[in-house]
A and B are shown apart, each in its own frame.
Chain A
């Protein structure tokens, strides 16, 4: 990594905020601001222009979806900013709202994921560089709720695994590592999935995510 990534954190639980700062500093990130509410986050981002923001969905004052609202607004104001939403629960509706127009530079993870430090950091880096990081839980829920059960059932077990990882926003290389198969094998599975589901082939990972999600959600 050339320059260290600059990260803003908005999380109202002090114990978690401190932990995140500790973790990210330890991994060589620069923390531009660690705040507890959406308004402070807005100001901090205005001032410091970080690469990516980690945003808790439930924050003061109403403790409902302030973080989500703030994220949608921040994306409008700062198109280059990556946003990793961070939540105790997964609400598919939030994911749909967040990915309404674009999946580039968007992440949505359960807070538990920080326990697997490397995965979490990898997801954060991916979001910062314009990729997508969706929690496996989101993908599971989307797959479970999808009405395309017929076409999904045509996929082989391995292809379903690849589809899930693809939907999480992982690159072919990452999928290969996760499943312990070769890059070529992944490419072959991806091509099969796209032809079986009759999806347009797209080059960038986040476009691919969007295509898969739209497909599952429609």
Chain B
């Protein structure tokens, strides 16, 4: 099927090249144009094709001796007993379990089957890893709930277990295919090649495997066993010898595909786990936020109001005393109380803005322009949104920009900054850039302002991303990507 071409110029090509004279002898201008063109054509048509052919030939020649071939062969051979035992195990636990479902024993047998399937799946995975270099990640470990019924419930709901079970079942036809196609190719190759030794002398004919089906007895010599028949079987064996690695490979490749789907970590489980983590972060961060608000109220506004009430109380008592002497003091107390009341109002306003910026009610643009205008480092805002994000996303974007601009003002020594806000394919991208000294890291910023770590938590909670690029000497570019709707 595949021709093993000898490298070298083909007759046609040679004819064209042959008459082309060396440039220094005749018609230098003409031939200097023609020659590279011809060389190129020769390269394209002959050399490159022959290179490719050579490469294919080389691979065919090397493949029967390659380590990979024998690993795959070994995997195929091992696959047969593995598939058989796996099928027996599944058939017993599931079959007996199904028959006994009326009692709890049945459920336990099924659960045992699922759990066992998980273990067997692990063995298959390790086998693929060591023999096929197939790097399939381990699925999440099995964490049963408390108690016997907890274990039962968790096992029956273990998606990884059920998927491993599916693999064990799919493995059965795969192993059968591996044996009939892959293993048999080697088998045939071996017996065909050795046929002249053990069967060539007498009236024996090739009576084994695929060749028998294909050629029948004495195919090569008109029904007669003999020299030509032996030679024919021998060369068929050579053919099988070089074809066998590929037959095995095809089946193993199928197996790889199935394993990647059924033995890899469950996408859904992984998603649930990442969502659980995100939820924990969100809960923690909202608890931290509430605590911060309580602290701010306690230390700020509440204390202000207590002091205010206290001063007014003192003033009231002095007024009730009706002593002229105290009037100056009363005036002072009322003065202090007045100032305290105004400070309390300001503190409350800042606090309220920290909880939910009222400017966000009219949209991100208004809120961000207030924010950039208030920044101590001159900041330009460019915003072009085709879709309005949901309020939660707007709030996260707002707090990101607020925190990042605060960091710019505190740490960067920047002379100017830009805030860019765009949306693309359902994602909102906010970029805060400054021309400061750079060298900002999440960990460092995080330690200087717990706000930024809180921000990353909030960003992750909606499956967003926060990236910091800040080489030494700047500039610092922080990119926040958020889904428009979450």
Number of interface residues of B (CB under 8 A): 17
Determine if A19 and B298 form an interchain contact, defined as CB atoms under 8 angstroms apart: no
Alpha-carbon separation in the docked complex, A192 to B329 (Å): 47
The 0/1 profile, CB within 8 Å of B marked 1, for residues 75-115 of chain A is: 00000000000001000000000000000000000011011
Tell which of B310, B313, B340 has the most Cβ of chain A within 10 Å: B310
Q: Which of B302, B311, B313, B340 sits near A116, CB closer than 8 Å?
A: B313
- Interface membership of A173, Cβ < 8 A: no
Alpha-carbon separation in the docked complex, A23 to B312 (Å): 11
Contacts of B307 in A (CB 8 A): 15-16, 18-19
- Interface membership of B306, Cβ < 8 A: yes
Q: Which of B295, B309, B329 sits near A114, CB closer than 8 Å?
A: B309
Output the least CB separation between B299 and chain A (Å).
6
Alpha-carbon separation in the docked complex, A18 to B303 (Å): 11
Determine if A15 and B340 form an interchain contact, defined as CB atoms under 8 angstroms apart: yes
- The chain A residue with its CB closest to the CB of B320 is A118
The 0/1 profile, CB within 8 Å of B marked 1, for residues 53-80 of chain A is: 0000010000100000000000000000
Contacts of B317 in A (CB 8 A): 117-118
Contacts A13-B299, A88-B298 given; indicate if A112 touches B306 (C-beta within 8 A): yes
Output the least CB separation between A89 and chain B (Å).
9
- Interface membership of B304, Cβ < 8 A: yes
- Interface membership of B314, Cβ < 8 A: yes
Those of B302-361 within 8 Å (CB) of chain A:
302-304, 306-307, 309-314, 317, 329, 340
- Interface membership of A26, Cβ < 8 A: yes
Alpha-carbon separation in the docked complex, A22 to B335 (Å): 14
Alpha-carbon separation in the docked complex, A116 to B312 (Å): 9
- The chain B residue with its CB closest to the CB of A119 is B313
Number of A-B residue pairs having CB atoms within 8 Å of each other in the complex: 48
Alpha-carbon separation in the docked complex, A18 to B317 (Å): 19
Contacts of A18 in B (CB 8 A): 307
Alpha-carbon separation in the docked complex, A61 to B317 (Å): 36
Contacts of B299 in A (CB 8 A): 12-13
Determine if B303 and A16 form an interchain contact, defined as CB atoms under 8 angstroms apart: yes
Contacts of A114 in B (CB 8 A): 306, 309-310, 313
Determine if A117 and B310 form an interchain contact, defined as CB atoms under 8 angstroms apart: yes
The 0/1 profile, CB within 8 Å of A marked 1, for residues 219-230 of chain B is: 000000000000
Determine if A15 and B314 form an interchain contact, defined as CB atoms under 8 angstroms apart: no
Those of A16-34 within 8 Å (CB) of chain B:
16, 18-20, 22-23, 26
Q: Which of A19, A63, A118 sits near B311, CB closer than 8 Å?
A: A19
Determine if B313 and A13 form an interchain contact, defined as CB atoms under 8 angstroms apart: no
Determine if B306 and A16 form an interchain contact, defined as CB atoms under 8 angstroms apart: yes
Alpha-carbon separation in the docked complex, A118 to B320 (Å): 12
Determine if A26 and B314 form an interchain contact, defined as CB atoms under 8 angstroms apart: yes
Output the least CB separation between A26 and chain B (Å).
7
Determine if A23 and B314 form an interchain contact, defined as CB atoms under 8 angstroms apart: yes
Alpha-carbon separation in the docked complex, A20 to B312 (Å): 13
Output the least CB separation between B346 and chain A (Å).
13
Alpha-carbon separation in the docked complex, A63 to B311 (Å): 26
Determine if A111 and B295 form an interchain contact, defined as CB atoms under 8 angstroms apart: no
Q: Which of A16, A63, A115, A116 sits near B295, CB closer than 8 Å?
A: A63
Tell which of A15, A18, A26 has the most Cβ of chain B within 10 Å: A15
Output the least CB separation between A214 and chain B (Å).
31
The 0/1 profile, CB within 8 Å of B marked 1, for residues 113-145 of chain A is: 011111000000000000000000000000000
Determine if B298 and A58 form an interchain contact, defined as CB atoms under 8 angstroms apart: yes
Q: Which of A12, A58, A111, A117 sits near B313, CB closer than 8 Å?
A: A117
Alpha-carbon separation in the docked complex, A13 to B301 (Å): 11
Output the least CB separation between A13 and chain B (Å).
4
Output the least CB separation between B106 and chain A (Å).
51
Alpha-carbon separation in the docked complex, A26 to B313 (Å): 13
Residue numbers of B with Cβ under 8 A of A are 295, 298-299, 302-304, 306-307, 309-314, 317, 329, 340
A-B pairs with beta carbons under 8 Å apart, 29 shown = A15-B340, A16-B307, A16-B310, A18-B307, A19-B310, A19-B311, A20-B310, A22-B311, A22-B314, A23-B310, A26-B314, A26-B329, A58-B298, A63-B295, A88-B298, A88-B302, A88-B306, A111-B303, A111-B306, A114-B306, A114-B309, A114-B310, A115-B310, A115-B312, A115-B313, A116-B313, A117-B310, A117-B313, A117-B317
Given contacts A16-B303, A16-B310, A23-B310, 18 further A-B pairs with CB under 8 A are: A15-B304, A15-B307, A15-B340, A16-B307, A19-B306, A20-B310, A22-B314, A58-B298, A63-B295, A88-B298, A114-B309, A114-B310, A114-B313, A115-B309, A115-B310, A115-B312, A115-B313, A117-B317
Residue numbers of A with Cβ under 8 A of B are 12-13, 15-16, 18-20, 22-23, 26, 58, 63, 88, 111-112, 114-118
The 7 A-B pairs with the shortest beta carbon distances in the complex, nearest first, are: A115-B309, A13-B303, A19-B307, A114-B310, A115-B313, A117-B313, A111-B306
